[in-house]
Chains A and B, each alone.
Chain A
């Protein structure tokens, strides 16, 4: 079954929120999953695996401690959403040299954010980790080598550098076809954002109030 990219974004956003991310990061997770799907990648799968892996862990343990030098977290594991938004927020730092991140979980989720950094810099940004290199810019991405490493659950070191070429671009997609299992995972997390049904909520919360048989 295919899903629209709006469904992907909405479901991914709710799922990330349900997994404990604040709304601002959940919004980024939605856009990131959508970006990957729009670029022909399994954005739902990679996000579902990430949420499963870090469920319940405090974000501060998974965030870069400092932007000086190699980006490392207190736990030794870097959340790709937190590292990704930081990369996008600090795109100008690529002027000063490569950015190295260590212990990145599900590194494919860095790519939407390197594309964002590339767009701000009006150029290309290359992301590489063991067995994979990808170039991103405002038009999309190109996987340069070993697409099998795309689904790596972790990368000891991720290098982000200015430059590269996206030609030929990975074809764009207007639909997503996630595995049923991953889609169910996202919906399981998303469900945590929904208030339980109750008679009081049903009566008061939406409040049509009157009969519709008039």
Chain B
């Protein structure tokens, strides 16, 4: 990564950052993909329209939402369904949903919509084309949906406490992009400025989905309440995010894309290093930080979970926020590298959740130092895959020891260290995690234990002469090719590997999910199990007709609730 900014404080060591407990404590930041998208759309003055809304009183039909940027238009094609409750499942193995969507590249014709109507509602069982950039679906929050429809139909506004408890009317249960089920490959759009940052198509799809859901709930209320129906208060609507319900699929993703993952982490680490290197802050920067600290406190206060692990983490985070507020009240944060002082204090006093909270929050006053790093977050290194066969064996050993040194002392034959195996079920190809020694799954294991595999490679290299080109080793031992590739990638992507055991009996996959989701910009992580999490996206964000440069960025931090 280029370093145009002078940083006197180095980036944090990957050995410290890339531990699961820390990755599982990440928070959204200025570099989150949702915020990057809303900033861009506001800055470029994107125009939004709803050319089609043909939905009947039973809530069945379709709608089109178009977003027009300076170069191109993208359209969400939404299909609304009448789903029997017994079919409502957030799992990949579901076969029907409350609503299904495709993000169309352009403005769809009637023929496009007809084609999509025969495929999008079937999701994985249908086919989309190179004209589509994403395929997704959503299920209602049954209780909140009914409450909002009933309240509006009765001429009342919905209860904000009930809205706060859930946070969204629908949650997406999968958002597929990049070539899945026939959609356009990432490579087709990667050179477009508005799509260069990762996951912008998916984030746009979800942004427009939130608008559709708001419109649909109003439509359904009117179908029930007729002329007496209330119009949803825009301030209440803004509180509503769009949920997401995520299983294990995201965990393999960050392991399978080490360069991409590295680029996300290193962008944030570089941002942290730059801000820690600020010698003195201005009063305005400090005021901005203090304001957002208060506002994010409201977000943390509203964060709910019934999962024991998350409840414990939340309790610690709330205590840490109190400690933090006390510290911040007693320090002007202006002189003597204030953010570095704050961060080092946090490292000595707060838990990992609190430390990562501060790490993200202190980036806020510094858009000029941080936001340009968004352009470094994509993976354009198509050559990283290629093995350098000329590399001598001794160099490979050194690289393993540098990146996976911790793994060399792990006893990988001990059951607790290899307890799990990642596999794909034949049931709709759902990614799953099983117990290696209790279930017949080992022969289906996916290559998602890089540390174990690197340790095995290290052992296999032990008897090879130091100067031998590794190509000769690979000719005799192709079974180590996968691990060797990762080791060479780690040399150019130091934050690309999770430096922890991904098949341990103690593994919590939700740590991997949270890390990825934090880069999307998700908040209010609510695990449903150790391998399933619900989150909220876009809560507080302006809707398309409200979007402006003044509200495009900091919507993630709740404003004080106005009285009356």
Contact = CB atoms under 8 A, between A and B. Distances in A.
24 contacts: A4-B178, A23-B447, A24-B478, A24-B481, A24-B483, A25-B478, A64-B475, A67-B475, A119-B383, A120-B386, A191-B426, A194-B424, A194-B426, A195-B424, A195-B441, A202-B93, A205-B432, A206-B431, A206-B433, A207-B531, A208-B90, A212-B88, A212-B139, A214-B143
Nearest to B479: A22
A92 B481 CA distance: 19
Contacts of B430: 205-206
Given A2-B182, A24-B478, 18 more contacts: A1-B182, A2-B129, A6-B185, A22-B481, A24-B481, A25-B481, A63-B478, A67-B471, A119-B386, A174-B130, A195-B444, A197-B426, A201-B434, A204-B435, A205-B432, A206-B531, A208-B528, A212-B139
Interface of B: 85, 88-93, 127, 129-130, 139, 141-143, 178-188, 245, 247-248, 383, 385-387, 389-390, 423-427, 429-435, 439-441, 444, 447, 469-472, 474-475, 478-485, 528-532
A3 to B, nearest CB: 7
A59 interface: yes
Q: Which 9 pairs across A and B sit closest by C-beta, in order of nearness?
A: A24-B481, A89-B389, A6-B179, A205-B432, A4-B179, A24-B482, A89-B471, A194-B426, A209-B529
A202 B427 contact: yes
B29 to A, nearest CB: 28
A86 B480 contact: no
Interface of A: 1-7, 22-25, 27-28, 31, 59, 63-64, 67, 82, 85-86, 88-92, 116, 119-120, 174-175, 191, 193-197, 200-202, 204-210, 212-214
A116 B135 CA distance: 33
B185 A196 contact: no
A31 B531 contact: no
Given A6-B185, A90-B389, A194-B425, A27 B178 contact: no
B478 A91 contact: no
A85 B434 contact: no
B386 A5 contact: no
A175 B130 contact: yes
Nearest to A205: B432
A6 B178 CA distance: 7
Nearest to B473: A89
A10 B181 CA distance: 11
Given A6-B186, A25-B478, A27-B482, A210 B528 contact: yes
Contacts of B130: 2, 4, 174-175
Contacts of B89: 208, 212
A193 B480 CA distance: 19
Nearest to B480: A24
Given A67-B472, A206-B532, A195 B389 contact: no
A6 B190 CA distance: 14
A172 to B, nearest CB: 11
Nearest to B423: A195
B485 A24 contact: yes
Contacts of A3: 182
A6 B135 CA distance: 15
A136 to B, nearest CB: 14
A22 B183 contact: no
A193 B424 contact: yes
Contacts of B85: 213
Given A4-B179, A195-B424, A196-B426, A63 B475 contact: yes
Contacts of A5: 179, 185, 187
B180 A6 contact: yes
A86 B440 CA distance: 34
A24 B479 contact: yes
A28 B386 CA distance: 9
Nearest to B421: A195
Contacts of B441: 195, 201
Contacts of B247: 206-208
A139 to B, nearest CB: 12
B474 A89 contact: yes
A205 B390 CA distance: 41
B249 to A, nearest CB: 9
Contacts of A201: 425, 427, 432, 434, 439, 441
B148 to A, nearest CB: 15
